[in-house]
Structures are given as C-alpha cells and as structure tokens.
C-alpha cells in the first residue's frame, strides 16, 4: 500500500516536471512545410533537398530588433548561400494582432530590402507552432542529413543587437562548424528580442 503511495507520488512528480509543450529541439527531424512566399509562389522545405542546410530565421516587418539585424541577415545569405546554406525567413507574427505584419506589407518590406531569399507568410501560424520561436529574430539552422532536415542550432545571430558591440558571431560559427564537418560548439544561445504575436492571445 505504502509502496503504491510512493509510486503515485513519483508519477505525480514526473508529470509536474514535464516541460510545457514546445517546438523542435536540437537534433529533431523537421517535417516538410509549404508556405506562400512574397513572390506569390509556394516554397517548401523539400525544395531545398539538394542543399547542405538552411539558415531559417523567424523575422518580421516591425520589430526594432529585426530592423537592427536586417543587414546582418542579408550578409549571412551572401556569405553562405554559395556554400550550400541559404537564408529563409518566416514571419511568425499574426497580422490580426499587428496590422503591419500583413502579407502585403511583407511584400513591400522584401522589395525595399532587396531580399533574394524567401520571406514566407504563415497565416495559420501552424508551421510557426512546430518550431515555437520565442522572439524575433530567432534562428533555427537546419542540417540536411540526406534523407531529412534536422535542427542543428537554435538561438541568436550574434551576441549584441548593436552591430558595433558584436564579439561572437554565433550563426556564422555554427554554419562554419557544419561546413567543416564538426559538431557545433555552441548550438543553443539566447537574445533579447520582440515577443511573437500569436493569434487569439
């Protein structure tokens, strides 16, 4: 009897300790997704199955942190696209919460910043929920294993939103490690950023 009581307590404890539902973690396989790009064409992750991987960034039109990182995001694409890791952006925010996050505004934003990589719209936020980014910009580096994409890095672009203070370029270092066939030395980082604007919240 006493044994059962202790057993139930342990079970209860385990349930309480289980983390809240969250998105993909390091090493997880990413399911294919298909979203509308700012050029009105659909883009699927599977379209990139010949690449070495993708620098997937949850980024938006309005967040001052996103604006601070804009030129650094474009520079990442310039540096790594030719080496097999191109940039792909998904806007995680709902235009129902912030009007300026609409698909039309995204088109204008991509045009004025001369994006030559996808900037994807997820009206239902279903794909965003699979990743559960917490802030913009939030980076997920996806590694192509040949048969699937897996999550190799989650976190910040670098260690300072003010470009003149940057000392560690986390994403550059992580992609560099992958290109060199090494394990990523620093696969999880955090940044101060804008919260995600979820529907019905």
Partner 1 sequence: MSKYLFICLSLFYFTARGQESVKLPELQKLINDGSRVNVVNFWATWCGPCVKELPFFEKVNAQNKNVNVLLVSMDYDLDPNPDKVKKFIERKKLQSKVVILTEENPSSWIEKLDKNWSGALPATLVVNPTTKKRKLIEGELKEGDLEKIIESISQ
Residue 147 or 201: the one with the smaller Cβ distance to partner 1 is 201
Please give the residue ranges that form the binding site for partner 1 (CB under 8 A): 64-65, 68, 134-135, 155-156, 159-162, 165, 167-168, 170, 189-196, 201
Tell me the closest approach of the beta carbon of residue 135 to partner 1, in angstroms.
4
Place of tokens 């001052």: 64
Residue 93 or 144: the one with the smaller Cβ distance to partner 1 is 93
Tell me the closest approach of the beta carbon of residue 78 to partner 1, in angstroms.
23
Q: How far apart are CA 33 and CA 119, in angstroms?
A: 14
Write a three-state SS string for 14-27.
HHHHCCCCCCCCCC
Beta bridge partners of 155: 139
What is the total residue count of the chain? 201
Tell me the closest approach of the beta carbon of residue 7 to partner 1, in angstroms.
28
Nearest one of 92, 87, 39 to 199, comparing CA atoms: 92
Tell me the closest approach of the beta carbon of residue 4 to partner 1, in angstroms.
30
Residue 13 or 64: the one with the smaller Cβ distance to partner 1 is 64
């Amino acid at each position: 009897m006493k044994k059962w009581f202790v057993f139930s307590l342990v079970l209860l404890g385990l349930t309480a300790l289980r983390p809240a539902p969250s998105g993909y973690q390091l090493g997880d396989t990413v399911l294919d997704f298909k979203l509308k790009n700012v050029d009105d064409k659909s883009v699927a992750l599977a379209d990139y199955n010949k690449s070495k991987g993708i620098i997937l960034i949850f980024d938006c039109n309005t967040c001052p942190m996103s604006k601070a990182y804009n030129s650094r995001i474009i520079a990442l694409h310039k540096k790594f696209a030719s080496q097999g890791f191109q940039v792909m952006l998904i806007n995680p925010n709902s235009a129902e919460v912030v009007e300026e996050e609409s698909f039309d505004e995204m088109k204008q934003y991509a045009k004025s910043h001369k994006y030559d990589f996808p900037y994807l719209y997820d009206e239902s936020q279903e794909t965003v929920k699979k990743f559960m980014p917490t802030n913009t910009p939030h980076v997920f580096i996806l590694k192509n294993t040949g048969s699937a994409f897996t999550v190799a890095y989650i976190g910040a672009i670098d260690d300072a939103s003010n470009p003149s203070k940057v000392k560690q370029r986390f994403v550059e270092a992580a992609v560099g490690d992958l290109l060199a066939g090494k394990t990523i030395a620093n696969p999880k980082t955090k940044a101060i950023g804008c919260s995600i604007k979820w529907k019905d919240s």
